[in-house]
Amino acid sequence: MMSSIGKPYCILILLLAYASGQQTPTLCNDGNQGLCECGTDGIINTYVFTPGDYKRCIHTFIPASNNKLPVLLTINGYGQAMLDGNEGVTGYARDYGFAVFGVGSTGPFTGDGGFGLDFPANGIINPKNPTPCSASDSKDYVYLKGILDFIDGMSDKLDNTKVFVEGFSQSSMYAAYFTVCFADRIAGMWQGGSALAKTHYTPVTPGFQGQCSNSDYTQYGSDCCEEHSVKTAPGGQSTPAPAKIK
């Protein structure tokens, strides 16, 4: 029989688990999908969980194999990164023998040029904080960690020593963030349509990263450099707003 102390304690545990969201990725269905699109073709399996304030999706393609497969995490921060079961990267995965996970966002798509994944530290990275890699730095940090933990839990099918990340444009920038923060768990990274951005110089990224903070871009848009440039330069010195980007 449960003691009078044990019963309230168990209820408290259940309430805390409910409040913190569904932490373990679960196969998507009509009852739990939220904003996630469930894979419906029998080839793409979608898993959903709530690692923070928002429900997130993991779209997976794992071809049949007798061996543990490498994993490619393909990032698309402008959507959910749903995979096509018959074309594109899934076709290559089937031919060459690797798994593919689509890593995207269910929103909100409110910053960084409509990009849904959360860049860390309000978009400001400098020598004082070169690797803002914690849940307090980005609302999606726990989402990224949850994906890697999910791969660890599929050790019968997947090789967690061969996890790779790729993305294009802003998604390639997020691939870099993902890789830097989990360097001990990611084997390599590929970027396309990507380059270094220098403050006060072109080319300028869609979300004006490197020019303005995320919050200033959200408030001022493309005028953020003239209205309110990044206040803190590398080394902690203040820098005035530039008259224009060169």
Tens-digit pLDDT profile for residues 121-168? 998 888 888 999 999 999 999 999 999 999 999 999 999 999 999 999
From residue 128, give the alpha-carbon distance in Å to each of 87, 123, 136, 231, 238.
Answer: 44, 14, 16, 14, 14
Rounded to whole angstroms, how far apart are CA atoms 109 and 53? 14
What is the reported pLDDT for 48? 97
Question: What is the arithmetic mean of pLDDT over 186-197?
Answer: 89
State yes or no: pLDDT of 50 exceeds 70.
Answer: yes
Residue 244 has pLDDT above 60, yes or no: no
Architecture of domain 24-194: 3-Layer(aba) Sandwich (3.40)
Per-residue model confidence (pLDDT) at position 15? 38
pLDDT at 194 over 50: yes
Q: Is the pLDDT of residue 233 over 60?
A: no
Distance CA(229)–CA(216), nearest Å, equals 8
Check whether 43 has a pLDDT greater than 70: yes
DSSP string, 91-130: HHHHHHT-EEEEEE--S---BTTTB-S--SGGG--BTTBS
Q: Where are the beta strands (DSSP E) in the chain?
A: 26-27, 45-49, 56-61, 69-76, 99-104, 158-168, 188-192
Find the mean pLDDT for residues 50-79.
95
Confidence at 241, pLDDT banded by 50, 70, 90: very low
Please state, in angstroms and rounded to a whole number, the distance separating the CA atoms of residues 180 and 133: 8
Strand pairing category for 158-168 and 69-76: parallel
* More confident of the two residues 174 and 113: 174
Mean pLDDT comparison of 87-96, 197-206, 234-243, highest-scoring range: 87-96
Q: Is the pLDDT of residue 4 over 70?
A: no
Per-residue confidence band for 26, with pLDDT thresholds at 50, 70 and 90: very high
What does pTM read for this prediction?
A: 0.82
Please give the mean pLDDT across all residues of the chain: 84
Q: List the single range of 76-80, 94-98, 110-114 with lowest mean pLDDT.
A: 110-114
pLDDT at 53 over 50: yes
Residue holding tokens 């360097």?
183
Residues 44-54 have a mean pLDDT of 94
In angstroms, the CA 71 to CA 165 distance is 9
Report helix angle 170-181 to 141-152, nearest 10: 60
Selected residue with higher pLDDT from 178 and 205: 178
Mean per-residue pLDDT, 71-81: 95
The model's confidence at residue 20, banded by pLDDT at 50, 70 and 90, is very low
Task: Determine the pLDDT at residue 112.
Answer: 61
200 CB-near residues (< 8 Å, 6+ apart): 211, 225, 242, 245, 246
In the chain, which segments carry CATH 3.40.50.1820? 24-194
